[in-house]
Chains A and B, each alone.
Chain A
């Protein structure tokens, strides 16, 4: 796996000259000239001002939206050229998501929530149950699979979301401000868990965050600016 990760010639994800504009009334360019190469197993943080287009960028990568220019390739396949069904199937097989609002389905049990990606991928019930139990143990929720999401705390909900995001062994994990709704201590725990789990799974991951502390848990920090994605400025600029 390490050998694969160091193979710089074939990144898991590569963006070249991606641009995106929204047209409501008049065109508003959000992303311009975004380049990115992400190796297998690499964990990067993307920071940037509110409204600069971080979530938009993740949506483009996930195939939930189409760029106006440039190319997004996932494992060599052009995501931006896929139709909705192909993009959906790619997401289903190869990607995982963690959201700021946890988006845990309220009517399903914790285990059922975690099992969702396995169900979508047609994993047999027996194997799925074992995998879900193991995943819950990994995020510290062993034995709580039968509980309803309504009784869980915010930190616990986000751990369920992390388990769900990784249960089907995706090759890319996208997390959009996963700790935005959590208090600092819980956030630190969740970030540590996220890092551990990503490492263990060998997936590449992008963490979008406003927090320097959160970003520091990743391998590499990038900053999204109106002119593109640039390496983060030296630590002196981060603040007092």
Chain B
């Protein structure tokens, strides 16, 4: 056995040594796929670990977290819960996301009762900088304790002051010490709860109560009994729920990235397949000789699979290194969510896991081995006597065709698009895309035959030869075709999907920003607001014709899901379409009916809030019934948003504060002029953010582009893989045809004529591949737009064909194909014609 293995190695080394480029292409193809997959895994893992770590240090040893919306709930709930026999300790928490005007960023501030927190969440108890000031310092109304990460990020130390915006005013807090128990990744500040309620304008309100239960109490059962005690909109969540909530936040996004990485790996495997298929084809008589000399089928199969696995091993190794670098760079420049905006305030670091690393190594090897399986199987089962003769290659390729299976696979793919999501993931959508791709690849030889069989008879020799090759060797043509098809269709589908999405977001922004000037009480966080007086002041400002106000809030409908956004604003119930980008027709409620709400598409998917249904929402601690009067498209809040009339909100909550205003101006007044007046006349007007729709638009689109940066990167990778694939298949074909070129040269065909023939072949092949790829890409884009996106992110979009980009890509690919065909042909012709004919193989 050992000598047979060394023979395998000798043959392998001979083949790789003789064609290092071919081997390198296979290695690179696998490396790219593994690198993408591994990088995505590393980044996800880093972000999630950091997230669960911070969630863990925040929750301390709390068994249960009583959580309310951002607006808070009545603090009298605290003594009622603390008195329950099942509760061993309870710690009330005030939570505010505050804007820091000097640092131009937000910071999460918690107010805790030091004595209670010490029992439940000791990590939130600050350590004073001066030990002598001790206890007093902890309770001082302006004392603030910052986590190490915050101190470092803001460049503060004990004794510094920090300014926080509140309403339109500012409050100065003193940094009294640190929170050493919190991890390096978390940005957070803690102050005394009484001081926080007073300083941060949260009198009588709590956002959270952390509970530690008495020994022996069943946490889940107790959480269920609490359900009846808690006011509407307040939920009891276990640490498990909290973690699940944060990880389900970004799950679809992460799965999408993983699938893209797998696509890269698939393309890599496909490249290995086409290079291996052609290389096995070229060595057909060599392999037949080995069989004649007494190598069994199994041994030959093992030899060729070892070859593939070796390429896979080195590719995977290279890919792991590349992936590590890619992940480090991505974390550095885009953060743990790659610009997706899911893990704010968390700075993750990379921790490669041995298991995942091994998994991707194995995946790389597997992909390459699978890629060489079919060609290897064919070579092992070829008849040696026949394969020893030249000109037998098409026989081999014909055996790889399975008539009708291509169309059957495509039909199965179309059926799968009708299936719903599995566990909120578009599993069948992805499967449909995979099947569509595979089916189209299988159908390529038939397509090649059907199309090239119709080529007209040509008079000029190079054209005649090129046509003859395409017609006579459809199997060879199909291998090159399939590579072009795979890469171009994936490329085209991404371009179409992203362009459609971008256009839809663009239109959507136009629809939701009808006013010429917008005011926001604070650039970030939720502690800024316009009082009633400020609102009247705004309306009365010269130049302002009309103002519409918006109040944002939160609704907690499910402990295991992120909160739903509540938008209370002025909407005309008879014409909601004037302010909201509606999907479908709205209902107009009669005067006796429940108050209307309009919900985003995500609400329909996640909570079943269909148009026409009566639903209960927790408003101000009470459950109120509303009529779902319409569904609108929302690209800003993936976890759902509910719009209600501002008047209804005020009637139910008696809260007249608002967070935003949209201003329509009198003729002649410019937004700049009005903003200037407001800045001067409004108390605290310099804190307000003045936004022009154009600016919001531009910022939103740049955020969009940033979060799609990773897909652009993948597009570049797809282009690269496509071009590499074309180069690989053409150079392999040219090598295999060295003898044919030699014969042609002997017969008096000039090099120039052979070059023309090759360029024509390459160009025609690429043209057909690109045409078929465009069709396939369009179909995949339809699945992405109408199945994958709605099921993953709960939003719809309209199809838009970016013809210009597609045409440019197509032209580039066809040109690249013709050029690589030409160059690889040149290389194959560079030896003497005599040698080429004499050459044994």
Contact = CB atoms under 8 A, between A and B. Distances in A.
Chains A and B form a bound pair = yes
Interface in B787-841: 838-841
Given A88-B291, A91-B292, A122-B3, A106 B298 contact: no
B289 A103 contact: yes
B840 A120 contact: no
Given A106-B840, A106-B841, A149-B840, A120 B292 contact: no
Contact of A97 (B7, B293, B839): B293
A116 B1 CA distance: 14
Interface stretch (A58-66, A69-77, A138-146): A58-66
Contacts of B285: 103
Contacts of B840: 101-104, 106, 149, 157
Interface string A104-142: 111110001000111111111100100000000000000
B699 interface: no
B14 interface: yes
B294 interface: yes
Given A85-B296, A89-B296, A65 B383 contact: yes
Given A107-B14, A125-B3, A93 B294 contact: yes
A123 B6 CA distance: 11
B464 interface: no
A92 B10 contact: no
B385 A65 contact: yes
B615 interface: no
Contacts of B291: 64, 88
A84 B299 CA distance: 12
Contact of B293 (A101, A116, A123): A116
A124 to B, nearest CB: 7
A173 to B, nearest CB: 13
Nearest to B380: A84
A91 B293 contact: yes
Nearest to A58: B385
B293 A117 contact: yes
Nearest to B6: A119
Interface string B1-45: 111101100110011011000000000000000000000000000
B17 A107 contact: yes
A206 B415 CA distance: 62
A43 interface: no
Contacts of B127: none
Contacts of B14: 105, 107-108, 112
B78 to A, nearest CB: 80
A64 B383 contact: yes
B3 A88 contact: no
Contacts of A118: 3
Contact of A112 (B10, B18, B297, B384): B10
A120 B4 contact: yes
A194 B565 CA distance: 91
Contacts of A116: 7, 290, 293
A122 B383 CA distance: 25
A120 B15 contact: no
A132 B10 CA distance: 16
A55 B386 CA distance: 11
A122 B6 CA distance: 10
B279 to A, nearest CB: 12
A121 B1 CA distance: 9
Contacts of A89: 294, 296
A122 B7 CA distance: 9
Instruction: Summarize A's interface: helix, strand, loop or mixed.
Output: helix
B11 A108 contact: yes
B388 A103 contact: yes
Contacts of B3: 118-119, 122-125, 128
A93 B15 CA distance: 26
Nearest to A96: B293
A3 B666 CA distance: 124
Contacts of A59: 385
A49 B384 CA distance: 23
Contacts of A120: 4, 7, 293-295
Interface in B264-298: 285-286, 289-298
Contacts of A121: 294
B297 A85 contact: yes
A126 to B, nearest CB: 11
A88 B293 CA distance: 8
A64 B293 CA distance: 11
Nearest to A112: B10
A101 B389 CA distance: 9
B15 A99 contact: no
A88 B295 contact: yes
Nearest to A109: B14
B36 to A, nearest CB: 33
B753 to A, nearest CB: 27
A103 B1 CA distance: 25
A34 B291 CA distance: 26
A84 B301 CA distance: 14
Nearest to A91: B294
B425 to A, nearest CB: 46
Nearest to A55: B385
B18 A92 contact: no
A91 B293 CA distance: 6
B337 to A, nearest CB: 50
Contacts of B388: 99, 101, 103
Contact of B296 (A84, A103, A125): A84
A55 to B, nearest CB: 8
B294 A117 contact: yes
B294 A64 contact: no
B366 to A, nearest CB: 27
B15 A85 contact: no
Interface string B442-468: 000000000000000000000000000
A91 B292 CA distance: 7
Contacts of A164: 293
Given A97-B292, A106-B841, A108-B14, A84 B297 contact: yes
Nearest to A56: B385
Nearest to B10: A112
Contacts of B15: 107
B18 A64 contact: no
B837 to A, nearest CB: 12
Contact of B294 (A88, A107, A157): A88
Interface string B485-507: 00000000000000000000000
A141 to B, nearest CB: 17
Contacts of B1: 122
Contacts of A108: 10-11, 14
B287 to A, nearest CB: 10
Contacts of A128: 3
B628 to A, nearest CB: 70
Given A120-B7, A122-B3, A123-B3, A88 B18 contact: no
A62 B292 contact: yes
A114 to B, nearest CB: 11
Given A88-B296, A91-B293, A99-B388, A107 B18 contact: yes
B18 A105 contact: no
Greatest chain A CB density within 10 A among B1, B384, B839 is at B384
Nearest to A170: B294
Given A107-B15, A107-B17, A124-B3, A92 B286 contact: no
Given A95-B294, A123-B3, A157-B840, 19 more contacts: A55-B385, A64-B291, A64-B292, A65-B383, A88-B291, A88-B294, A88-B297, A91-B292, A91-B294, A92-B293, A97-B293, A103-B285, A105-B11, A105-B289, A106-B839, A107-B17, A118-B3, A119-B7, A122-B4
3 interchain residue pairs of minimum CB distance: A92-B294, A107-B14, A119-B7
16 contacts: A84-B297, A88-B294, A88-B295, A89-B296, A90-B294, A91-B292, A92-B294, A103-B285, A106-B286, A107-B18, A108-B11, A112-B10, A116-B293, A119-B6, A120-B4, A121-B294
Interface of B: 1-4, 6-7, 10-11, 14-15, 17-18, 285-286, 289-298, 383-385, 388, 838-841
